[in-house]
Structure 1
């Protein structure tokens, strides 16, 4: 049975801009198409800001369409200037190559469990740029671009107006290169739809226009919303940095916590955008949004579904286990891997020596400013070791306190935690 995929994407809030929507909808109902989306390897991991394009691609894959995901190792040497306030720092060939390999592996893991995985391919634009002749490119492709129209693109206009920064010719040419990527994949792979974030609309439309000029054929473009968090930061960035998809850079526990701490305002929108839950289930949660119990359950559902999607069941279970153990005063079920997640980036962590007592641990952890203050905290029944209240101001740590021989959870009051580690 054919699915009206465009209507489905719209209902989930996954479309910001789209070309020739009626024509594209009709084509998708009649046949399977080839879709492409590109990622420049300017870091060694994708982050949560890349999740919407990936989820949209997964929806196309689930409906039987073929995906080409482009790793922009060639264009990464220049860097996309779209809505950047200043020119990116150049990346070395070796750095981009290393990042490309890691991102390829990340993409493979993200899509490998899909039944239609055979319809998923990764391509690298360095493979066609490294043998490209400059004069041929300028005479065959460059002539199709009007400088007048290029300087009127919003991201270019903003940079030109900045006297202190401006825009280099190399970044100015990025738009042409991405358009050429679309032409190349259309002519050699048959792609007819490009997907990207809303900041890619100018680059995507250039590719559509180039294909029309060169081949006289109509292709399509679709962009997804560019999300900004409630504090005005680009989505996926926090006070402590970016939320990466690589669990070695952002632990699965911290990743889970990022989603469970979603604001009430964004919660139901995020459930529609970032999960594959049925709309009726999400509507049911939203209809009960005045009940705190259901808000918490909806946030838990969001965190579980996105963590499972990115990190798999084992790491999702670990994140859930840690969350329950810490906030519901029960450490018995935590594994050594769970503690390593906390040590990575889940909690403030401090290393102790064998001679450090409880007062010193409070000082080293930053939970108190001095031994005197630490003493008063203990006397006022505000200090817990592994969720057990400790009243002895002269308390020294025993082997029984060291879980797996090296970890202990130190708490001040109800919400201030630190992970203690012994050398």
Structure 2
């Protein structure tokens, strides 16, 4: 996270000391780096250029669920990104941010009829169908309105991504997609419907992936399906390969560089003769943000002291949901260390960020950050315990602004 750096013994975001943001906005507060978002977006897009040079088109749609802040979306729209949405609300945000409707991909296993209609009337670029009945309903809704819905069929390749069970989406027991062996017959029936332009297939096997082997295996299964569909005369012009690249949360994490991923994609998809679609989320947003917090108390414990901070599980839910790790660093470290439990003020034992972890020595009133909080942070927040939603700040150079409060 080059854009979050120590200068004169204090942590800064780009050209702004975090202490100034805490003084002006208060804590807890999410702080995002515009430079980091831009750099990650450009790096991912550049990594896919070899795939385009291999004879395919490329469309990159940011997965809005990772961080739906409108300022972030406007920034990514300026980088030429489309949007991957999973609700009518996310679709509305994408359009409000200036992302062209034809650049929007509507994913998600539970789209309502009202959401399908909104997508049709907005003229979005693609619906990713999760079951045959959804395609039948979408075709009828489109036909009633004199429209044609562009769509692909999401298949489940039954590939274990090797990630956390709660963010795995490509195994046969997961709720997403249709079994790949049932896809040919289903594709034929859907392709025959008036009102539906079925133009390809989609997959997504999970999130926070470090190993490219499961992705390559899934892509090869999809190519075999595409060959089968084309072999019996079906048109396949778009293949959605999803997202899922991981980011570093702690020492020992070794994320796959986007360039390595892009090289694999170019090698595997050479000659596919299709538009390849991608939905990066975490890899764009994760390391572009931190959650800035204040230490309220350091409470003695039986084994280790509890560092009680003013951020809580309602602000950053991932540790409570997934036992997820976020590095905890002092804004002004002294060099001394302590072993402590890090917890929030919510009235739940589960409101714990770390147990028995070695961290910077902190005292009441000190500022600290939870790192790698730009993805699945503010977007998953709640008002549990009647706590207010955390404000969000975007830093751009030596300026910052509250972009959600």
TM-score (norm 1): 0.29
Structure having the higher strand fraction is: 2
Higher-Rg structure is: 1
Between the two structures, name the one with larger relative contact order (CA 8 Å, sep ≥ 6).
2
- Which structure features the higher share of helix residues? 1
